[in-house]
Amino acid sequence: MIEFIRNVRLWFMPEEIREEGATPDYRFSLANERTFLAWLRTALALIGGGFAVDQFLPDLRWGWRVGLALALLAAGVLCAFRAVNHWVRCERAMRRGEDLPVSRFPAVLGLVVAVVAIAMVVVVLLGWEG
């Protein structure tokens, strides 16, 4: 838990990361940044999908519409937070010469998206007001 709190602090003070270890090859830092941006694009897509479900499916039952929208919005928020945390963890590991951190988050995010997709299939098969 203490390590997570330190990482959160580093989100807002990335210059402190430079104090650790040696500077990695800039190509690795840039690749880490591209991965961060890819995760942010994923987060934005999930958030946009959540708003789209809420705004453009008014005939969908309220419970389904709100549940699906909230699931997508929550996944987007978690994805955005995870992007920043993963960027910091990878940057620190590269500077220290350690293995890059592993994460279960891609699997969890994939499962959440799959569950939402299955729910949408059920909604389509049963009809909007079923």
Q: What is the pLDDT of residues 63-122, one digit of tens each?
A: 889 999 999 999 999 999 999 999 999 999 999 999 999 999 999 999 988 998 998 888
Q: Does 57 fall in a domain?
A: yes
- In whole angstroms, give the CA distance from residue 104 to residue 119: 23
pLDDT-derived band at 8, boundaries 50, 70, 90 = confident
* Cβ atoms 97, 21 nearer than 8 A: yes
Residue whose C-alpha is closest to residue 7's, from 78, 79, 84: 84
For residue 129, pLDDT over 80 is answered with no
Q: At 125, is the secondary structure helix, strand, or coil?
A: helix
What percent of the chain clears pLDDT 90, i.e. is strictly above it? 62
What percent of the chain clears pLDDT 70, i.e. is strictly above it? 96
Q: Does 12 fall in a domain?
A: no
- In whole angstroms, give the CA distance from residue 118 to residue 106: 18
Q: Does 114 fall in a domain?
A: yes
Q: Does 117 fall in a domain?
A: yes
* Cβ atoms 81, 114 nearer than 8 A: no
Range of the domain at 119: 27-126
Q: Total domain count for the chain?
A: 1
Q: Does 69 fall in a domain?
A: yes
